[in-house]
Amino acid sequence: MPDRVVDFYDRHPISEAQVLAAVARRRGGVEGALTAEDLFEFDQDHYGGLDAVDTLARRAGVIARSRVLDVCAGLAGPARFLASRRGCRVVGVELHAGRAAGGARLTRRVGLAGRVSVVRGDATTLPFAAGAFDACLSQEAFLHIERKPSVLAECHRVLAPGGRLAFTDWVARPGLGDRAREQLREWMAATSLQTLEGYRALLGRVGFGAVEAEDLSDAWRQVLRARLRMFRAMRADTVARLGEARFGEYDRLYAFFVGLVEAGRLGGGRFTATR
């Protein structure tokens, strides 16, 4: 199953090259010094933008001396945001080799390598010692992981006692049928989806306490509507960059996905728990 995830992110529109191209368009070039702030508009691959990262960090109690692990870090946008705004050290672990390397290059480029490192690895077998972190965060990534008990147990293992896990993910809601699940698996590498209550139970089962589960479906519905509108408004630009076929592929995929969210069959959840 990780192969399907890697394949999906091989073709994903958010990449190191795309981030730098977007910054270049905005600034009229990428020569000279770049800061983490220059990238934030383009390097976050989740819903709710920087506010969403900030909320997770608050829920996880992240402060300047926290040792933070970002699980499934993507291009390390959230990791750079936390390190630059909160002054903490962040390690990002990312499955996709190109994204891990791209995330590390972007981090060096903005001068944050002293505080942010990106490690290529699988969230179900984290390459870190027990108790190495004070906070584990993750955004919109566990949907790609079939063995959810493993990833949650690994977060529990690498947290110090009293450490906090805070993550957001898509959740299955009533009426999400087998066919829609199969399409989500095929098209978006969503290998398995938990429900809000399913996650709550799993977190307890792997040893977490003070578990909280919050339904974000209404907020995400607004975000997704806006994203679909924006994607379609940028049709000419996207076709020029990726071609008509890729635009069409993403458009169909997006419309299907947003349709499930509109119908209340798919939603989002935010979870916090204490080791």
Ligand X SMILES: C[S@@+](CC[C@H](N)C(=O)[O-])C[C@H]1O[C@@H](n2cnc3c(N)ncnc32)[C@H](O)[C@@H]1O
Site residues (vs ligand X, CB under 6 A): 2, 5, 9, 44-46, 72-74, 77-78, 93-96, 99, 122-124, 139-141, 144-145
Question: Least distance to ligand X from the beta carbon of 146, Å?
Answer: 9
Question: Least distance to ligand X from the beta carbon of 96, Å?
Answer: 4
Question: Least distance to ligand X from the beta carbon of 145, Å?
Answer: 5
Residue 85 or 239: which CB sits closer to ligand X? 85
Quote the CA–CA distance of 145 and 63 in Å, as a whole number: 29
Residue 21 or 239: which CB sits closer to ligand X? 21
Quote the CA–CA distance of 19 and 172 in Å, as a whole number: 31
Quote the CA–CA distance of 20 and 27 in Å, as a whole number: 10
Residues 6+ apart with CB under 8 A from 243: none
Q: Which residue is nearest to ligand X (CB)?
A: 74
- The HSE-up count of residue 125 (CA atoms within 13 Å, CB side) is 3
Question: Least distance to ligand X from the beta carbon of 81, Å?
Answer: 9
At residue 95, what are phi and psi to the nearest 5 degrees?
-70, -40
Of 159, 91, 153, whose CA–CA distance to 130 is shortest? 159
Residue 227 or 239: which CB sits closer to ligand X? 227
Residue 32 or 75: which CB sits closer to ligand X? 75
